[in-house]
Structure 1
Amino acid sequence: MRLDLAKAFTRKAAEIAMRHFKRTEGRRKGNEGIVTDADAEIEEFVKQRIREVFPAERILGEETGFTEGAAADASAVPPNDLIARLGGLPKKQTVKGLFRDLPGPSATPSAGSTDETLWAIDPIDGTSAFAAGLPIWVISVGVVLKGLPEVGILSMPAINEMYWGDESGVFLNNKPVRLRQGMDQFDSESCLMVPSNSHRKYQINFPGKTRSMGSLAAHMAFVAAGAADAALLGRPHLWDIAGGAALVMRGGGQLLTLSGGPCDWAPLLAGQRPAEPLICGPEKTVRAILPYIKIREAVDY
C-alpha cells in the first residue's frame, strides 16, 4: 500500500513542481547547492500525506532533516481514502493481485534502527537543473524497510516519466524495464553516468561514454531502465539515492564502494554521507568499471 500511496502523492507533487518550473529562482544554501520555493512546498506536501496515513513512521527530507514518528494514531486516514482523494491511480493501472501489502508501522524504534520504516524524500533532485529550466530533475521518494531501500518512486514531470519499483519489479510508466546485462568488456556505446562535478573529483578513463544529466536520481533511473550501464554516485545523502537504490536493487543491481566493498547503509540511515564514493549497476559491470575510476584528491563534499 505504501507504493500506491507514494505514486498518488508523487503525481500531485509533480503538479506543484510544474507550477514552479521556469518560474522560480534558486537561492544558495551554504555549501549544499541551491534551493527553490518548490523544494520546500513539495517536501511539506509529501510529509503531510505520509503523516495522514503512517503517523508512526519516520521521514528524512533534504530540506527539513528527520521528522520523528508519533505514537500510532487510531484516526489515521485509510490509505485507499487518501489515494482516492488525491485522484486515484492512473487509468488502466491496478495493483490488486499484483502487489503484496508491505509491513505496517510498528512501535517507534530507536533512532537509526534497521527495524524501523523510514521514508526518504528529495523534493527536487537536480535543483540546479530545475532552476535553470532544464528538463532532467526528479521528485524522489524511497521507503527503507529493515535498513534497506525496498520501494522507490522517481518522477520526472518535465518529460512525463515515472519510474517505480518494489518486490514485483521495476517499471517506467507502467511498463516493465530491466538493467542492462552485466558485462566486463566495454566499447564506445557503453555508458557510465557521472556526477556533474566528476571532472574535479575523479580521474575517469572509462572506454565508453560518460554522461551527466544533473540528477543522481535520474542517473539511477536510467541504469534501472537499461539506458546506462552504471552510475557513479559520489558520496550522496540517503534522500538522494533511496528511491533510485530501490529500483536498481529490485532489478538485481548493487551499490558498491569504489574500493569494491558493499554499501554501508548505517551512516546513510543516520543522515550522514558514506565514507567512500558509491557506484551502482549490475555487479559484474560495476566491478569491471572500478579500475577505470580514481579519486583525484580528498575533497569536501
Structure 2
Amino acid sequence: MNNVKKQFSIRDLENLSGIKAHTIRIWEKRYNLLSPERTDTNIRTYSLTSLQKLLNVTLLYNNGHKISKIAKIPDNDIPYVVREIVAKNSHKSQAINAFKLAMVNFDQTMFFNTYNALLGENSFREIFKETFIPLLNELGLLWQTDTISPAHEHFITSLIKQKILLNTEKLQHLNPTKKDKVFVAFLPENEIHEIGLLYINYEILLKGYKCIYLGPTIPMENLEDVMKYFDDIYFLSYFTVFPQKDHVNKYLEDFNKLVANYENPNLWLLGRQTQYINDETRPKFCRTFSSIDSLVSKL
C-alpha cells in the first residue's frame, strides 16, 4: 500500500510551490504564514497542512494578491478564495500550479474546475501539449526527488488518463478513413507508464487510422495473434522504464525473430530507454522518435 508523505522539507516546499526557500522563511517570520516543526538537529519540517496552505498562498500571490493581505485571510477561507480564482482563470502557468494543488489535496473538484476553465479557451490537444506534458515532466522530477509520494502521482495521472480516454471515445465510433497502416499500441512486459501511449492512440484515431490498443505489460508472444489478421501493421510502443538498459537490445533481437515471417514489419518506439538502442544491431524496421510531436508529424 502506498504511504502518503506527511512531512516535507523546506526544499520540498520550494520544489512544489516555486517559491524560493529564502522567501518562505521571510513569510514565516514577517507574517507568521507557516509554523514549521523542528527536528532534534534543528532542521525545519512542514506538515501536509502547511504545504497545502503554501500552495494556496502561492496561487493567490501569483494572481496579484499581496502577501500582506493574504496573511490576513483566515486559514479556513483561503481554499474558497482559491477555488473562485481557479474557476475563472485558465492561464496555463496558473493551471499547472492549480493541478499540483489538486494533487496534494487529493481534490478532484479542483482538477475538474481547472480543466474546464482551460477547455473554455483551448482544445484538448492544446491542453495536453501545453499543460499536461509540462505538468507530467515536473511531477517526474518531484517523484524522483521524493517530494511527492506515489499516491499523489497515481491520483493525478489517473485523472489525466480519464480525460484522454474521454476524448478518445469520441473518435472510436468513427470508421477509419486511412487504410495504408494499422497501428498496434502496446507496452512491453512490466511497463505500466501508459499516458504517452494513450495520447498517441488518440492522435492516431484523430488522423483517421485504425489503432488496436493493447495496453500495458504485454508479453511479446501475444503480438503474434494480431499479425494473423492484418498485413500492414505498425507496432507502436513506449519504453519508459522497461525493457531495462541492459535488456533493450535483446528485446529488439527477440522482436526481430517474432516478425521474421511477417512480410512488412514496422516498429515505432518512444521513451527514454530507446537511448540504449545499438544503432548497429537495430532492425531496419525499427524507428525511434524523440517526442510525441515528432511521431505524430509522421502519421
Say yes or no: TM over 0.5: no
Structure with more of its chain in helix, by fraction: 2
Normalising by the residue count of structure 1, what TM-score does the alignment of the two structures yield?
A: 0.27
Structure with more of its chain in strand, by fraction: 1
